[in-house]
Amino acid sequence: MLKKLMSSYAKRVALPPGTLVHLGERALDVALLSLIVYDKDTHAQYEPASFDEAFGYMTPEVVSWLNITGLHDTALLEAVGKTFDIHPLTLEDILNAGQRPKTEFFPEYVFFVLKMIRYDDRAHSLDIEQVSLILGKNFVITFQERPGDVMDALRDRIARGKGRVRRRGADYLFYSIVDIIIDHYFTSLERVGDDIELLETQILEAPSAALTTELHRMKRELLFLRKATWPMREQIMSLLREEHPHITEDSAPYLRDLYDHTIQIIDTIETFRDMLAGLLDVYLSSVSNRMNDVMKVLTVIATIFIPLTFIAGVYGMNFEYMPELHQPFAYPAVLVLCALIAVGMVMYFKRKGWL
Amino acid sequence: MLKKLMSSYAKRVALPPGTLVHLGERALDVALLSLIVYDKDTHAQYEPASFDEAFGYMTPEVVSWLNITGLHDTALLEAVGKTFDIHPLTLEDILNAGQRPKTEFFPEYVFFVLKMIRYDDRAHSLDIEQVSLILGKNFVITFQERPGDVMDALRDRIARGKGRVRRRGADYLFYSIVDIIIDHYFTSLERVGDDIELLETQILEAPSAALTTELHRMKRELLFLRKATWPMREQIMSLLREEHPHITEDSAPYLRDLYDHTIQIIDTIETFRDMLAGLLDVYLSSVSNRMNDVMKVLTVIATIFIPLTFIAGVYGMNFEYMPELHQPFAYPAVLVLCALIAVGMVMYFKRKGWL
Amino acid sequence: MLKKLMSSYAKRVALPPGTLVHLGERALDVALLSLIVYDKDTHAQYEPASFDEAFGYMTPEVVSWLNITGLHDTALLEAVGKTFDIHPLTLEDILNAGQRPKTEFFPEYVFFVLKMIRYDDRAHSLDIEQVSLILGKNFVITFQERPGDVMDALRDRIARGKGRVRRRGADYLFYSIVDIIIDHYFTSLERVGDDIELLETQILEAPSAALTTELHRMKRELLFLRKATWPMREQIMSLLREEHPHITEDSAPYLRDLYDHTIQIIDTIETFRDMLAGLLDVYLSSVSNRMNDVMKVLTVIATIFIPLTFIAGVYGMNFEYMPELHQPFAYPAVLVLCALIAVGMVMYFKRKGWL
Amino acid sequence: MLKKLMSSYAKRVALPPGTLVHLGERALDVALLSLIVYDKDTHAQYEPASFDEAFGYMTPEVVSWLNITGLHDTALLEAVGKTFDIHPLTLEDILNAGQRPKTEFFPEYVFFVLKMIRYDDRAHSLDIEQVSLILGKNFVITFQERPGDVMDALRDRIARGKGRVRRRGADYLFYSIVDIIIDHYFTSLERVGDDIELLETQILEAPSAALTTELHRMKRELLFLRKATWPMREQIMSLLREEHPHITEDSAPYLRDLYDHTIQIIDTIETFRDMLAGLLDVYLSSVSNRMNDVMKVLTVIATIFIPLTFIAGVYGMNFEYMPELHQPFAYPAVLVLCALIAVGMVMYFKRKGWL
Amino acid sequence: MLKKLMSSYAKRVALPPGTLVHLGERALDVALLSLIVYDKDTHAQYEPASFDEAFGYMTPEVVSWLNITGLHDTALLEAVGKTFDIHPLTLEDILNAGQRPKTEFFPEYVFFVLKMIRYDDRAHSLDIEQVSLILGKNFVITFQERPGDVMDALRDRIARGKGRVRRRGADYLFYSIVDIIIDHYFTSLERVGDDIELLETQILEAPSAALTTELHRMKRELLFLRKATWPMREQIMSLLREEHPHITEDSAPYLRDLYDHTIQIIDTIETFRDMLAGLLDVYLSSVSNRMNDVMKVLTVIATIFIPLTFIAGVYGMNFEYMPELHQPFAYPAVLVLCALIAVGMVMYFKRKGWL
């Protein structure tokens, strides 16, 4: 993921700024368009074959949501840019998959780019994809790299006319899209939290080297997640602070709500990071405790037998004049002596707390 | 607790913003209402069966405190919201148990949400519950999840007409409620402090692996507590800074007092965290000191006997021509040699400080 | 000390704000009053038996300094509060020994609370006591918990008419009191610095487990000291920034001087903390160096003799056909072989740097 | 590199400020000039032999880019300074290779100094060189120490008239130069990222002491890189904030783009640093895991044989009255006993998880 | 050095603020005065015997630089204070050797205090001395504790009329003095950098306990140096921000230059601290690597011989019925068996990577 980000920038080097090159994985051969137009009373959904067709439906009386999936078709993007008067640097940013979350205000539109996060159940890891939004006078355009997203519930809600969304303008649609993306952070973080709790149970029960690798992987994943979410605080704050004709005043409580959620996400990621750091401590002290236990018992056994072996060695010597060797009770006496020494040492070690 | 927080958000996904769903544990089957109305001279306490009955008592001449326990009855909440003109996002926040402490100002009311903390004596851990407050023109509404709270002393004080509370308006009632909740942070933190001192004594006297698990548990608990208290600084500061018609100027010294207490709580939590971090160091160095003591003594014993065993081995060899074997004083001489070597090594180790 | 702080708050729970209860140790049975009144030309010192008597001396033409030692007599405090129109929360703060250093401005007076620090020579630790100051129009009232303080030099200076203090107003007296308290931080910190240097010498010369306990105690003491001094920066800055009729403009250089001293104290405490953290590193690496030395030498001895013991064991075997046993030079040859092996190993270990 | 920086300052000591001495490596004997002049329609490239020749081409109607490589020729620099009215301290800064990235605004020009970074494939390390830019009314002057830079792609683009650069003024040229230098940070960081991933694979597969040296080298390299990039944030922000006649308003989006890139670079370096810190943890726990494995197995083997050796020693004793010695089945019985003890200990160790 | 600082404050306790007592080492018995007066055309240098004589030369038409070495003569200081109307707290600060770097603006003068740093070649450590500057209308007074300073090059430059200094006013002289002092930080830091690089080489080649003591000493030295330089940032920034009649507007670029240098010094110290922290890691992992190597080889040797010794012990037993003992090839067979076991274990350890 890091490599992807870096290489996306590296490719751009030596091109004039504003040149449209897609800097990301090529997921689709051809871009997919989907368009939803609605007002309080009407609603329609299209899969236009071309941008020209889509643009035909986007009349000023209705709110339009144009979703473009697949960013390889730079000609399409250029057409969009020309039609809606979008700055070349914005188009460049849309194509560049390694963007930092940010809001940019242009007289004609608001540009908003963030990461869409889904928990991948098989890999037990997070899948991160960049989504760009353009909020125009009465439309929102969203750009994604790969098919499949987290916004179906919103499409549904628009179709059924549920909630406030149909009664209000493009800025509420914009807010709803960002809101549903951010809500998915919570679902994903919940799963990450489950993974952390599972890891904790495993480490407390049976610390193993494999778990540190997993711990390391999760730490790194949260490192990237943090990098992707940290700027969102400022990003949404700037929506609240700056005035733009396309953002009505009624949106303020909704944007404040988004802001709260963002801070909660950042908080949670920080908490997760602290928990993982704590887990590493737990792992290390647990491993060292176990190692100490092993070493202690084993060393004690060795220590007990070494003096005994010396005694046995003494009476294995071949000196001619060793009077003990000829006493009938010498052998059992030596055995008893050994036993006494062993018992004495065990008791001493026990009293010292070494056993 | 983390899981609870996360799952509460996860459930909300795909619902339109402002939809009222309770995101917390269901503690009660039916919401309990309790109402206190008073002015300087009169005082009455009710347990109304319905919100309509309660609303009947809340006349503009008196100060009313409506407490709602149990958040599953969303119909009740909707009625409250409609009657007092409360924003849907506020209602959503009340229902969501994973809220960050915050103050929000609306023209009609001030919304204030914080955590109520009680020390659970049996579990030796903190019990955290969310409390939401709405300060209206002449009323305060509080929302809790579970029956039982820390505010009985305040109810008492109102009933007996003690202190300033009866002579002043709803903002003073609001302050008194927040004050009594925050005062309970101190009681709870005092108990946590006792636990830390106990843990310290145990670690200094007899470090054991079980204590690190306890240390880890306390560190995590303080991690969550810190997350719950850190935003309170800003939350109460905003009460002081922002002007709102429902907050009179006389409240300023009381709010400043709350602010001081909040900072003191945050300070104390940070101090506790530093103390726990220090305790971990103490534990680790204590364990390693003990381990070193064990290893040193045991290794010294082994080291003394190994050369002696070699000597015994030499004279156990079966060579034909070993003249020493036939000397009558060889055996005692070897024994004395062994004793001298042992004594010499012990003295050397002692001088080196290894014993 | 932590426990004291916490319990002082815990006691207050369930009391209405502004209730006067002393939250600290009871050091005296009855409060002691001492009063100094002076102007440029006159000077008098009293030990009044009651506040009423004291108040009789405090005429507007002179500067008065009333010192109250012992805070258990809440009736006295109430009388002071009523006479000088002091806010109930201020009185509550005076009684509460766990106060954070702060300045509060009221129209009638300035309230200032800080810690007085003395180094206890017997316990080698710091003695911390809270001092509250009230700066009124032409008087200063100081509140202490226990008899004995650091201000005798100032009383002397007033009596002898030395320095500027007699020629100037109550604000200069206020500054002089705070200055002398803060100057004692330096004396105390100098002693702490001596303790740290002594500890360092001991750790470098003979690291022992007892020293880590001492290190831990000092770390914790500095943790509390830091908590007590950190807010002083803001506290004195607010004296500089905010305008109050009782603080004349001539005081600015003196307050700036206080501010400098406060920063220097905070700096010094941070430096001490860094030094202690460094000392812990030194201790740990010193202990591990010594342990390594022990283990290395001992293990080397064991390693040399183990192969030799094997050789001796071989020639102790009782096989019938062992031709070496019958060679006259076999025994000395084996002894020489053993010596060669031992010398070879010692040389190898030396070359490897293991000995 | 550190030494270079320091010594460059050290040389300057005792010289009056503004004295022109080159404080860097001497890479060229004589300074090389290269000049590009262009407007929308025309374009010319020169290699003038002297500054006077170059200045002759720099007419006010065209945009000029004068690049000076090699800073030893202080006379040349003085001539440039006199001609374009450049402050002596600016000239001093240009000559001083240890400059911190900064922007300085003078009425006549904007001075901008940053580091140019290239990844050196052979040394697997970064090559850092200082570049200074002066943006005048219709010209940009760049100063480099050594021949060879990262700007050929830009020269090409100007020559072919590609992109916006030919249609716009000197400020766009200035932006383009900074942009291409900053873009090379990404290419270089991508290579560093590759190195980190390679290092990680190696550490996970075969941790060795040589890898820690490499880790240490990379940590230090990033330490310097961070020092070189951290001030760029403020540097470019000041271009955005401050108004200067030579920077037109159209540049704002481009400068904002630069700012984004800079933050992304700083972010990436911080992420790399965190990754390296994580890698050190991985290395340490990996080494200690391996060491533990070694110690455990070896100690277990020793522990099993030590009691057995004692038993063998017992029956090697030479007592006359040892009845077992004369039993025909005693020898096999002792062998079986030894086997049973060994098997029993192995099973015990297995069950304890020590093997 | 720490002790010096602390004791200097401790002595002041109980003295009225503004009392002139020298708080530092007494380096000279009598203060030395040196005076330079100059304007564009004239220049004179004096060694006046008294302040009165010196003051006679300081006419308003010329710029005067009075340097006072040795601070024990408080009568002299009082005379200076009275003549130039200097605030008593300023005089107190000059006498107090433990001052934090700061700038203070008074209507009559600017007070500036900083540390002068020289690298002591014999002790391989830094020599720190306090210098105070007073910038008046047309004069600068500098105060030092000990003879010998870093400003001879500047005196030279003034004498020879070189550079801008003679053509400009007292503020440029003030800047030149501060500049030359700060430039010496770079020379000194360069030497410290050399020491760090030397230490690194030594640690990588032959880690020893003595090097950690050295590391610790350098860490502490940088700790003090950081404390002395950190406030300089704010100190010089305040010169830039605040307006004072004695500082002309032409000084701004020079002060900005000072500010740049200060930040570079702070940066360098931080970098050195990070490098030392990194070195400690390198040392620790290097020591533990060597220890691991020792332990591994030694343990492996022991482990190989312990089973062999057991085998030898078995055939040293004295059972009557041991048929092997009577086989002619038993002895060589046992020797071969031992060799095979040894070779097998070595191969196993090699494959496991333990040797």
What are residue A21's phi and psi, to 5 degrees? -130, 135
Same domain for A179 and A327, yes or no, is no
Q: List CB contacts (< 8 A) between E87 and chain C.
A: 253
Q: Do B253 and C89 touch (CB under 8 A)?
A: yes
Same domain for C187 and C51, yes or no, is yes
Please write the tens of the pLDDT for every residue from D191-214. 899 899 899 888 888 888 788 888
Q: Which residues contact E339 (CB under 8 A, 6 or more apart)?
A: none
Q: How many CB atoms lie within 10 A of CB B109?
A: 23
- The CA–CA distances, whole Å, from E236 to D295, E89, E104, E111 equal 59, 21, 11, 12
User: What CATH number is given to the structural domain containing B76?
Assistant: 3.30.460.20
pLDDT in tens for each of the 355 residues of chain B? 444 444 445 555 556 666 777 766 666 677 899 999 999 888 999 999 999 999 999 998 899 999 999 888 888 999 999 999 999 889 988 988 878 899 999 989 999 999 999 888 888 888 889 999 999 999 999 999 888 778 888 998 888 887 678 888 899 999 999 999 998 998 899 899 989 989 988 888 888 878 888 888 899 889 889 888 999 999 999 998 888 999 988 888 899 989 999 998 999 999 899 889 888 888 887 777 777 777 777 778 888 898 999 999 999 999 888 888 898 899 999 999 999 999 999 998 888 877 7
- The CA–CA distances, whole Å, from B58 to B53, B169, D102 equal 9, 14, 65
- Among candidates D254, D285, D300 on the partner chain, residue whose Cβ is nearest the Cβ of A17: D254
For B196-208, b/e burial (b = at least 16 CB within 10 A) is beebbebbeeebe
Q: Do E9 and C190 touch (CB under 8 A)?
A: yes
Q: Among residues E216, E83, A247, A236, which one has the least CA distance to residue C282?
A: E216
* Touching chains, C (3+ CB pairs < 8 A): B, E
Same domain for A175 and A305, yes or no, is no
Task: Provide, rounded to the nearest whole percent, the portion of chain E with pLDDT above 70.
Answer: 92
Number of residues that this document lists for chain A: 355
Confidence check: pLDDT of A13 > 70: no
- CB contacts < 8 A, D to E, total 161
Q: List CB contacts (< 8 A) between D2 and chain E.
A: 193, 197, 268, 271, 275
**Domain ends where: E243, E269, E285?**
E285
**Domain ends where: E231, E250, E285?**
E285
Q: Do C328 and B316 touch (CB under 8 A)?
A: no
Q: How many CB atoms lie within 10 A of CB D122?
A: 5
Kind plus residue range of the DSSP H or E element containing B118: strand B110-120
Q: Among residues A176, A4, A40, A20, which one has the least CA distance to residue A88?
A: A20
pLDDT computed for residue A112 by the predictor: 96
Confidence check: pLDDT of A15 > 70: no
Which tokens sit at E209? Answer: 């306990």
Q: Is the CB of residue A12 less than 8 Å away from at least one CB of chain D?
A: yes
C-alpha span between E117 and E180 (Å, rounded): 11
Q: Do B314 and C318 touch (CB under 8 A)?
A: no
Number of residues that this document lists for chain B: 355
Same domain for D153 and D139, yes or no, is yes
Confidence check: pLDDT of A142 > 90: yes
Task: Provide, rounded to the nearest whole percent, the portion of chain A with pLDDT above 90.
Answer: 38
Please write the tens of the pLDDT for every residue from D29-53. 778 999 999 988 889 999 999 999 9
- The more confident residue out of E241 and A15 is E241
Kind plus residue range of the DSSP H or E element containing E172: helix E170-205
C-alpha span between C44 and E233 (Å, rounded): 48
Which tokens sit at B137? Answer: 């023109």
pLDDT computed for residue E2 by the predictor: 45
Question: A28 with A35: CB under 8 angstroms?
Answer: no
Q: What is the largest CA-CA distance in chain E?
A: 121
ipTM: 0.71
User: What CATH number is given to the structural domain containing B335?
Assistant: 1.20.58.340
Interface mutation target, options C166, C167, C186, C276, chain E, most CBs of E under 10 Å: C186
Q: Do D319 and A324 touch (CB under 8 A)?
A: yes
Q: List CB contacts (< 8 A) between D315 and chain E.
A: 317-319
Which residue's entry shows tokens 């059924």?
A160
Angle at C29 between CA C23 and CA C34, to 5 degrees: 95
Confidence check: pLDDT of C243 > 70: yes
What residue type is C190 in one-letter code? Answer: E
C-alpha span between D65 and D158 (Å, rounded): 11
Q: Do B313 and C318 touch (CB under 8 A)?
A: no
Which tokens sit at D185? Answer: 């940070």
Q: Among residues A147, A157, A116, A156, which one has the least CA distance to residue A133?
A: A116
Kind plus residue range of the DSSP H or E element containing C224: helix C209-241
C-alpha span between D134 and D140 (Å, rounded): 6
Q: Do E302 and C303 touch (CB under 8 A)?
A: yes
Angle at B12 between CA B9 and CA B17, to 5 degrees: 115
Q: Is the CB of residue C348 less than 8 Å away from at least one CB of chain B?
A: no
**Chain D residues 162-181 within an 8 A CB cutoff of chain A:** 162-165, 175-176, 179-180
Same domain for A240 and A341, yes or no, is no
**Domain ends where: B286, B314, B336?**
B286
Q: Among residues B303, C287, A264, C86, which one has the least CA distance to residue E298?
A: B303
Same domain for B300 and B271, yes or no, is no
- The CA–CA distances, whole Å, from A202 to A197, A271, C53, E289 equal 9, 20, 73, 30
- The CA–CA distances, whole Å, from D191 to D119, D194, D198 equal 7, 5, 11
Q: Is the CB of residue D201 less than 8 Å away from at least one CB of chain A?
A: no
Nearest CA in chain B to A190: B6
Shortest Cα–Cα distance, B281 to chain A (Å): 11
Q: How many CB atoms lie within 10 A of CB B26?
A: 11
pLDDT computed for residue D352 by the predictor: 81
Find the domain containing C24 and state its range: 2-286
Same domain for E207 and E346, yes or no, is no
Indicate the number of domains in chain A. 2
C-alpha span between A243 and A241 (Å, rounded): 7
**Chain E residues 263-292 within an 8 A CB cutoff of chain D:** 263-264, 267-268, 271, 274-275, 278, 281-282, 285-286, 288-289, 292
Same domain for B90 and B194, yes or no, is yes
Q: What is the largest CA-CA distance in chain B?
A: 121
Confidence check: pLDDT of E5 > 80: no
Q: Which strand ranges, in their side-by-side order, compose the sheet holding C102-105?
A: C43-46, C32-38, C63-69, C139-144, C125-135, C110-120, C102-105
C-alpha span between E72 and E22 (Å, rounded): 6
C-alpha span between B264 and B267 (Å, rounded): 5
Handedness of CA D235, D240, D245, D250 (dihedral sign): positive
Please write the tens of the pLDDT for every residue from C214-234. 888 899 889 888 888 999 999
Shortest Cα–Cα distance, B320 to chain A (Å): 11
Burial class (CB in 10 A: 0-12, 13-18, 19+), B175: buried
CA-based end-to-end distance of chain D = 50
What residue type is E179 in one-letter code? Answer: D
For A184-219, b/e burial (b = at least 16 CB within 10 A) is bbbbbbbbbbbbbeebbebbeeebeeebbebbbebb
Confidence check: pLDDT of C14 > 60: no
Same domain for B117 and B201, yes or no, is yes
Question: E139 with E170: CB under 8 angstroms?
Answer: yes
Give Cα D95 to chain centroid, integer Å. 23
**Chain D residues 214-253 within an 8 A CB cutoff of chain A:** 253
- The more confident residue out of C84 and C294 is C84
Q: List CB contacts (< 8 A) between A314 and chain B.
A: 312, 335, 338
Same domain for A186 and A227, yes or no, is yes
| Three-class secondary structure of residue A102 per DSSP | strand
Q: How many CB atoms lie within 10 A of CB E316?
A: 26
Please write the tens of the pLDDT for every residue from C193-211. 989 989 988 888 888 878 8
pLDDT computed for residue B132 by the predictor: 95
Please write the tens of the pLDDT for every residue from E63-79. 999 999 988 888 899 99
Instruction: Output Rg (C-alpha) for chain E, integer angstroms.
Output: 34
- The more confident residue out of A291 and A86 is A86
Q: Which residues contact E315 (CB under 8 A, 6 or more apart)?
A: C317, C318, C319, E322, E324, E325, E330, E334
pLDDT in tens for each of the 355 residues of chain D? 444 444 455 555 556 666 777 766 666 677 899 999 998 888 999 999 999 999 999 998 899 999 999 888 888 999 999 999 999 889 988 988 888 899 999 999 999 999 999 888 888 888 889 999 999 999 999 999 888 778 888 998 888 877 678 888 899 999 999 999 998 998 899 889 989 989 988 888 888 878 888 888 899 889 888 888 999 999 999 998 888 999 988 888 899 989 989 998 999 999 899 889 888 888 887 777 777 777 777 778 888 898 999 999 999 999 888 888 888 899 999 999 999 999 999 998 888 877 7
Which tokens sit at B266? Answer: 């945050």
Q: How many CB atoms lie within 10 A of CB E146?
A: 16
Burial class (CB in 10 A: 0-12, 13-18, 19+), E259: middle
- The CA–CA distances, whole Å, from D72 to B212, D69, D143, D336 equal 64, 9, 11, 88
- CB contacts < 8 A, B to C, total 161
pLDDT computed for residue D133 by the predictor: 96
Q: How many CB atoms lie within 10 A of CB C253?
A: 17
Q: List CB contacts (< 8 A) between B284 and chain A.
A: 285
C-alpha span between C145 and C129 (Å, rounded): 7
- The CA–CA distances, whole Å, from D27 to D38, D58, D171 equal 30, 27, 30
Q: Which strand ranges, in their side-by-side order, compose the sheet holding A43-46?
A: A43-46, A32-38, A63-69, A139-144, A125-135, A110-120, A102-105
Which tokens sit at E292? Answer: 């691991």
pLDDT computed for residue C5 by the predictor: 45
Give Cα A273 to chain centroid, integer Å. 11
Burial class (CB in 10 A: 0-12, 13-18, 19+), C178: buried
Please write the tens of the pLDDT for every residue from D234-278. 999 999 888 899 998 888 889 998 998 999 899 999 989 988 988
**Chain C residues 101-140 within an 8 A CB cutoff of chain B:** 102, 104
- Among candidates E260, E268, E354 on the partner chain, residue whose Cβ is nearest the Cβ of D102: E260
Q: Among residues E303, A169, E204, which one has the least CA distance to residue C299?
A: E303
Nearest CA in chain E to D102: E260
Q: List CB contacts (< 8 A) between E296 and chain D.
A: 291, 294
Complete DSSP assignment for A35-78: EEEE-SS-EEEE--SSHHHHHHH--TTSEEEEEEE-S--HHHHH
Please write the tens of the pLDDT for every residue from E124-151. 888 889 999 999 999 999 999 888 778 8
Confidence check: pLDDT of A8 > 80: no
- Residues forming a β-bridge with C44: C37
C-alpha span between E141 and E147 (Å, rounded): 15
Shortest Cα–Cα distance, C270 to chain E (Å): 10
Instruction: Output Rg (C-alpha) for chain D, integer angstroms.
Output: 34
Same domain for D347 and D202, yes or no, is no
Nearest CA in chain E to D8: E186
Which tokens sit at D300? Answer: 């277990």
Same domain for A116 and A246, yes or no, is yes
pTM: 0.78
Which residue's entry shows tokens 């991160």?
A128
**In three state form, how does the secondary structure of B335-355 look?**
HHHHHHHHHHHHHHHHHHCCC
